[in-house]
Amino acid sequence: MNKRGDAIVLVGFMGAGKSSVGRTLARMTGLPRFDTDELVGARFGLTIAEIFEKHGEEKFREAETEALRGLSGMGASVIVTGGGMVLRPENRELLRELGTVIHLSANEETLFARISRRPTRPLLRTENPRQTVSELRAIRSPLYREIADTEVDTSSLSHDEVARRILESIKS
Ligand code: S3P
């Protein structure tokens, strides 16, 4: 495998706290922050929901991989990824090359409660979003774990606490 970089890479399911913790980490460390959802959104000039609607999930996934490739060799930074980033094997390899991969996890009830507060995620516009969360999580959890150096359960932690744990794990 190629040499690993110096980025702190956040992966995990929707609602695990990746975006908020990414901002907190950037504030605490002074490192630049990149968010693949923001990069993809900016590229299309659309929200993620609009990209799914107009172009479909496959186009979104392609743009997601391109955004990740564009970050390769970025150096010390905080990289926030969308919950489905781990689905493609190529992405999983790229994520590990970028740096230390942190899996933000949470119990399903907490995830669902957080996700329900912001009902913008296209993949959860189903008849039974709770079941969809359960199914997607069953498929993805092993993939997050496969590539993660560290897992932090965010269920009952503040963003600051999660960020501090991540920084401690990187130091040790
Ligand atoms: C997705 C998660 C979203 C976003 C898109 C697809 C997924 O990001 O990339 O809606 O497949 O889990 P968040 O994890 O930041 O919600």
Q: Is the CB of 12 under 6 A from ligand 1?
A: no
Which of 13, 14, 118 most suits a substitution to test ligand 1, by most atoms within 8 Å of the C-beta?
A: 14
Look up the pTM and report it: 0.97
Q: Is the CB of 18 under 6 A from ligand 1?
A: yes
Structure tokens that stand for 93 in this block: 């390899």
For 8-52, write each residue's pLDDT tens digit.
999 999 999 999 999 999 999 999 999 999 999 999 999 999 999
Q: Residue 118's pLDDT band (boundaries 50, 70, 90)? A: confident
Q: Which pLDDT belongs to residue 2?
A: 61
The whole-angstrom separation of Cα 69 and Cα 82 is 14
Rounded to the nearest 10°, the torsion over CA 67, 53, 136, 84 is 0
Q: Is the CB of 140 under 6 A from ligand 1?
A: no
Enter the DSSP assignment of 155. T
- The neighbouring-strand residues paired with 7 are 99
Residue 87 scores a pLDDT above 90: yes
Separation of CA 14 and ligand 1 centre (Å): 6
Q: Is the CB of 22 under 6 A from ligand 1?
A: no
For 127-167, write each residue's pLDDT tens digit.
999 999 999 999 999 999 999 999 999 999 999 999 999 99
Directed axis angle between helix 89-98 and helix 57-71, to 10°?
Answer: 30
